[in-house]
Structure 1
């Protein structure tokens, strides 16, 4: 079963809430106390996989990212930032700083399987919504906390921000030109990875709950996540005790694996092993290079990376990017252009994979969102509902989940509780 059609390379969702939910998490309910990016990324993944999510937002204000604009999505008052990580969720406005709001929150949580939050450590305890407090009431509840530094350690009380984590977690020391400033990655990867690690933790906790009936807390620190994905560079340091230098667009362990200028722009050349290097050299007039001890093995090329770059650069500069891509693909040698975003979203592979989805927004127009990359053969991701306007589903949830009347909802709204 599919829930989208394709129009000009863009997958189209009607936005109809009646779209069949075939996701593997269908039937699970999530109480979403997150905002900005790390938490919403985690919860959107759960929602895309079928979970029924109620996103709790402060009345009159909502998620901070609703005001992270311009740009706004065309025809709406919603920021592009907010729309990017809040589909398949229902917005419920609820003031948890008020006793009545806390009571309603606990009633709603009692009907949920999962709670995800990214408040500062201890902040929810003063509202009676901390992990220990809720675990005593609902021992099966899975409670995922995403914070800057985790629940323990000397930095636990500090707020966390993406650029701060990129700085403290080491990735900025590795990114940028050797003689330039440290650079952050161009998108908030520390937030995104923390959200994805949080989702993985929730899925593991669900499996444990299936076996035991017990819930637990998932403690995700953004700094921890940032350290975890240092990958080969982190391991290079642990192996040598030496801080890896910034190499610009070069790879620390493989040469040549980098950006090269071409006759009309730039391209990436990725030669991952010695046979591929030989194949490249033999086809482009560099027959002597593989026989030279300075270049014959990857280890030798890493030791002589500047000379490799100096030798190859004039060759690659002699032809256009398209010329190189066409010939290197035939030879099964890794390469590619450096695309702008307009080129990315026009790329035939991106179009073929339906990586943009159109959804009917409650404001009226269709909005484009970036698709979920997880492809499940039997339980596909469903695009059931566009990101909501603030408080769009408050009355619906209060009435259907808690049995409150319209009059009761109106009274709570007048008090500023919902």
Structure 2
């Protein structure tokens, strides 16, 4: 039995952050039912290109709604509202990732639903939160990266500000929504008392500033971008050129530093007064980079990986193709295939990151709009 078997979540969701979080719940066995207004096109992700799968579906949508169900229901109509409230009586939670002022308008807060089901959990994910000056603002991942300082920490010092290559604030916020929803459901099952739980992209992004935030708040230190994506205080922990590409080497402890120097046949480096201890290496970062690169540029990345992998924390810098064609991804079961009526041979997909009793949950395609209307009249 999956850990969340018997948990039902109604989700008024669209695009990325909310669907990512509820998909994690579905992976763990929850029954996630997308509440979609078919007349308005349903979840916006269904129309996100470039790869569409017939009418009302796309590879983008399949990425975020695997294993869910869908009902075609207009929350703003009297009939749709009545049906939603019927479904609510058998649900554990209602999730949404709408603008912060929308849950009140749609009457999907705990205050609106408690009279129907006192134990219901209402999980809200929005750009800036509810009940504040920005509640009605639209907002997206990249904006949070910009305002919360991420762009100032990413890229080379002499380049323009740069965002993450992926929408990691969406994914982090969705994950935290899933965690808070499950936690609140556990309490509701013990006490019979539901609640609202709130996550915002802004709060999550600011929280992820982590130790650089603590350094600034207490010491006034402004962490800045460093060349080669270097760690701010540990050396060497950065990108290095090889003969044909790049490696990321992370000698986070003196043990790994010594093992690295031994493996690349540079016993002179630990004995050099400039590099003899962590503070010295930090003070002479540029000189150490030049010394290490002088060695690594004599051979291709594969040569150094053969010497260092499993001994020292090191990784090649791959593009997406190399990352997905990596035999290790197949070995650990992170790639699979799902059937799809618009795709002969199915869709190749990423597996869930979870393992339960050593097994990854099965992958099932995302639903069509209203595909499960008969199951939830």
Q: How does 1:165-176 map to 2 (within 5 A)?
A: 165-176=144-155
Is 1:272 the counterpart of 2:269? The answer is: no
Match of 1:320 among 300, 314, 317: 300
1:58–1:93 CA contact under 8 A, matched in 2: yes
The offset of 1:289, in angstroms, is 2.2
CA–CA distance in 1 between the matches of 2:6 and 2:363?
A: 14
The offset of 1:107, in angstroms, is 1.4
Change (3 A) 1:76 1:326: farther
1:96–1:127 CA contact under 8 A, matched in 2: yes
* Other-structure match for 2:51: 71
Q: How does 1:73-222 map to 2 (within 5 A)?
A: 78-222=57-201
* Other-structure match for 1:15: none
CA–CA distance in 1 between the matches of 2:363 and 2:326?
A: 26
The offset of 1:285, in angstroms, is 4.2
Q: How does 1:350-389 map to 2 (within 5 A)?
A: 350-363=329-342, 365=344, 366-377=346-357, 380-383=359-362, 385-389=364-368
Q: Secondary structure at the match of 1:223?
A: helix
2:18–2:96 CA contact under 8 A, matched in 1: yes
1:35–1:118 CA contact under 8 A, matched in 2: yes
The offset of 1:189, in angstroms, is 0.6
The offset of 1:78, in angstroms, is 2.8
Match of 1:46 among 25, 39, 56: 25
1:66–1:79 CA contact under 8 A, matched in 2: yes
* Other-structure match for 2:269: 289
How many equivalent residue pairs?
374
Q: How does 1:54-69 map to 2 (within 5 A)?
A: 54-60=33-39, 61-69=41-49
1:87–1:383 CA contact under 8 A, matched in 2: no
1:262–1:320 CA contact under 8 A, matched in 2: yes
* Other-structure match for 1:311: 291
The range that moved more, 139-148 or 88-97, is 88-97
The offset of 1:101, in angstroms, is 1.3
* Other-structure match for 1:394: 373
CA–CA distance in 1 between the matches of 2:278 and 2:109?
A: 53
The offset of 1:96, in angstroms, is 1.3
The range that moved more, 120-129 or 102-111, is 120-129
Once the two structures are superposed, residues 337-370 of structure 1 have per-residue CA deviations (whole angstroms, 9 ceiling, x without a partner) of 1112222222121101111121112446411221
Once the two structures are superposed, residues 181-240 of structure 1 have per-residue CA deviations (whole angstroms, 9 ceiling, x without a partner) of 111100101111000000110121122123212111111011111122223333333343
Q: Secondary structure at the match of 2:292?
A: helix
Q: Where does the alignment leave 5 or more consecutive residues of structure 1 unmatched?
A: 1-21, 399-418
1:295–1:301 CA contact under 8 A, matched in 2: yes
Q: Secondary structure at the match of 2:70?
A: strand
* Other-structure match for 1:242: 221
* Other-structure match for 2:243: 263
Q: Secondary structure at the match of 2:348?
A: strand
Q: Where does the alignment leave 5 or more consecutive residues of structure 2 unmatched?
A: none
Once the two structures are superposed, residues 169-192 of structure 1 have per-residue CA deviations (whole angstroms, 9 ceiling, x without a partner) of 221111111011111100101111
The offset of 1:305, in angstroms, is 1.6
Q: Secondary structure at the match of 1:258?
A: strand
The offset of 1:128, in angstroms, is 3.0
Q: Secondary structure at the match of 1:124?
A: helix
CA–CA distance in 1 between the matches of 2:305 and 2:265?
A: 17
Aligned-CA RMSD value: 2.0
The offset of 1:391, in angstroms, is 2.1
CA–CA distance in 1 between the matches of 2:105 and 2:132?
A: 21
Is 1:223 the counterpart of 2:175? The answer is: no
Q: Secondary structure at the match of 1:368?
A: strand
Give the structure-2-normalised TM-score. 0.93
Q: Secondary structure at the match of 1:294?
A: helix
* Other-structure match for 1:345: 324
Change (3 A) 1:381 1:208: farther
* Other-structure match for 2:14: 35
